[in-house]
């Protein structure tokens, strides 16, 4: 199931309009992360993400006539929930095996050594990180840049690519690689269901796994620094 398009006339599909969208997309999804890495945008990742999500939400409302309740769409076919949970059940052991191979001393470090921080992350991570990311990288990206990437595999690939690139702010290849795979999963779910609610749950499941298993050091700046 593809997401519903914006109201007629909400997005300029002329050549000039597409050029403007392309420049906007490049500035927001490529230029902003690069500026953070270069030290030109001296903000912590989470506050910057929240501000970006607020701006994207306002654009969706004012330019496209789309409200958040319309995107959350809690009524999703049961088969989509089963698909998400099955994919997670397969991927989670793979994440355990990968960390055991590359950095075994980090296994379950946050859970066992900093339990209080782990509890805080489990509670606040979906609210402060997951939902804003899904609003920006799925809802906004899909609705705003459909004239550039269409509604099929090209959109999924583009959304996954910018999601991975956005994680260069963490300064390591593993964060980029894992979020590239995750971005493809989440973009696929959003394309199939149009549900910001379901894709946020899916993202939260993987995020909880990441921090519980012990990948925290690879994703430290954006989330864990808030609890130090």
The confidence band for 140, taking pLDDT boundaries of 50, 70 and 90, is very high
Pair 49, 132: CB distance under 8 Å: yes
- pLDDT value at residue 7: 46
In the chain, the N- to C-terminal Cα span, in Å, equals 42
Task: Tell which wins on pLDDT, 40 or 107.
Answer: 107
Asked if residue 4 is part of any domain, the answer here is: no
**C-beta atoms surrounding 217 within 10 Å:** 15
pTM beyond cutoff 0.75: yes
Asked if residue 193 is part of any domain, the answer here is: yes
Asked if residue 50 is part of any domain, the answer here is: yes
Q: Is residue 223 scored above 70 in pLDDT?
A: no
As a whole number, the mean pLDDT across the chain is: 89
Residues, the chain: 228
Asked if residue 9 is part of any domain, the answer here is: no
Asked if residue 7 is part of any domain, the answer here is: no
Pairwise CA distance, residues 46 & 26, whole Å: 20
Asked if residue 55 is part of any domain, the answer here is: yes
pLDDT in tens, 81-105: 999 999 999 999 999 999 999 999 9
pLDDT in tens, 13-28: 677 789 999 999 999 9
DSSP string, 90-156: HHHHHHHHHHHHH-GGGTTHHHHH-HHHHHHHHHHHIIIIIHHHHIIIIIIHHHHSHHHH-SSHHHH
Task: Tell which wins on pLDDT, 145 or 74.
Answer: 145
Query: Nearest-CA neighbor of 147 among 1, 25, 27?
Result: 25
The confidence band for 121, taking pLDDT boundaries of 50, 70 and 90, is very high
pLDDT in tens, 174-197: 999 999 999 999 999 999 999 999
| Count of domains for the chain | 1
- pLDDT value at residue 15: 79
**C-beta atoms surrounding 7 within 10 Å:** 11
Asked if residue 200 is part of any domain, the answer here is: yes
Asked if residue 6 is part of any domain, the answer here is: no
Domain region containing 129: 15-227
DSSP string, 4-59: PPPPTTSS--SHHHHHHHHHHHHIIIIIHHHHHHTTSS---HHHHHHHHHHHHHHH
Mean of the pLDDT values across residues 66-75?
82
């Amino acid at each position: 199931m593809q997401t519903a398009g914006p109201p007629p006339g909400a997005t300029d599909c002329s050549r000039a309009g597409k050029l403007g969208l392309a420049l906007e997309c490049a500035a927001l999804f490529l230029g902003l992360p690069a500026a953070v890495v270069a030290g030109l945008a001296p903000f912590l990742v989470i506050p910057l993400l929240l501000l970006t999500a607020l701006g994207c939400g306002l654009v969706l409302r004012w330019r496209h006539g789309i409200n958040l309740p319309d995107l959350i769409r809690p009524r999703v076919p049961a088969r989509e929930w089963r698909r998400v949970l099955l994919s997670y059940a397969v991927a989670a052991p793979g994440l355990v095996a990968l960390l055991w191979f590359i950095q075994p001393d980090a296994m379950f470090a946050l859970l066992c050594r900093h339990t209080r921080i782990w509890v805080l992350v489990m509670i606040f991570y979906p609210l402060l990180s997951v939902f804003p990311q899904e609003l920006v990288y799925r809802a906004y990206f899909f609705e705003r840049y459909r004239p550039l990437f269409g509604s099929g595999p090209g959109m999924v690939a583009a959304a996954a690519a910018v999601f991975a690139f956005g994680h260069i702010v963490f300064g390591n290849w593993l964060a980029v690689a894992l979020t590239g795979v995750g971005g493809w999963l989440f973009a696929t779910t959003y394309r199939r269901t149009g549900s910001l609610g379901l894709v946020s749950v899916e993202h939260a499941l993987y995020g909880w796994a990441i921090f519980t298993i012990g990948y925290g050091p690879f994703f430290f700046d954006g989330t864990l620094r808030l609890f130090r």
